[in-house]
Amino acid sequence: EPEVTQTPSHQVTQMGQEVILRCVPISNHLYFYWYRQILGQKVEFLVSFYNNEISEKSEIFDDQFSVERPDGSNFTLKIRSTKLEDSAMYFCASRSDGTDTQYFGPGTRLTVL
Amino acid sequence: DAKTTQPPSMDCAEGRAANLPCNHSTISGNEYVYWYRQIHSQGPQYIIHGLKNNETNEMASLIITEDRKSSTLILPHATLRDTAVYYCIVRVSVGSGGSNYKLTFGKGTLLTVNP
């Protein structure tokens, strides 16, 4: 069964550094999402991406965040200058055009020191 | 904010049916109810969704009341591996065109299946 994959599984970085989290959505999917979950808290929506543009973003998704689909298979989330409070699990999800279901990847644990 | 209310925790005996309730009294007529679960810190796993009618798949059944203000997820024969946080979510449309949506997670129900 096709799955969403994410790399790396765990990323440790210093505060102020840039990080790029990578996702490979399910191959025929056209809608892409990022969510995050701070330890012990709820899963929060960050951004939705469709047709090579952001279709919705939350207030968390400020100028420090960006998303890109660089090569038709990967979907990336970049944090330009990480802060301690960016430490969280980041989940990528994807959905095909003809279905109502978002499928999530296993997540990347980001630790900012 | 999440538009749903769920009990924070429930217990169930292995092999028994687990019935997880959810209140969504402010749901609109065209909003779907989704159920996901999360085991430890893994990615949320889709279970089932519905609009008005009851739904069943290989994982679970979803019973939606006639007024659509509440629903119940039923795991017919719970196993230890079903121990997880279960989220009841009302889908929220985003962007233009009405074809896209986001999931707004609440705190969910921690279901513990006991031997």
Query: pLDDT digits over A2-54, tens only?
Result: 899 999 999 999 999 999 999 999 998 999 999 999 999 999 999 999 989 99
For testing contact with chain B, the best of A34, A36, A43, A59 (most B CBs within 10 A): A43
Residue A107: list chain B partners with CB under 8 A.
41-43
Cα gap A5→A103, rounded to integer Å: 10
B94 interface with A at CB cutoff 8 Å: yes
CB nearest to B100's CB, from A37, A55, A93:
A55
Digits of tens for pLDDT over chain B (115 positions)? 558 999 999 999 999 999 999 999 988 878 899 999 999 889 999 999 999 989 999 999 999 999 999 999 999 999 999 999 999 999 888 777 777 888 999 999 999 999 9
- Taking the C-alpha atoms of residue B46 and residue B70, their distance in angstroms, rounded to an integer, is 19
Residue B94, CB-side half-sphere exposure with 13 Å CA sphere: 22
* A71 at B interface, C-beta within 8 A: no
Question: Cβ contact (<8 Å) for A107 and B43?
Answer: yes
CA–CA separation, A36 vs B69, rounded Å? 28
Query: B73 has which bridge partners?
Result: B20, B62
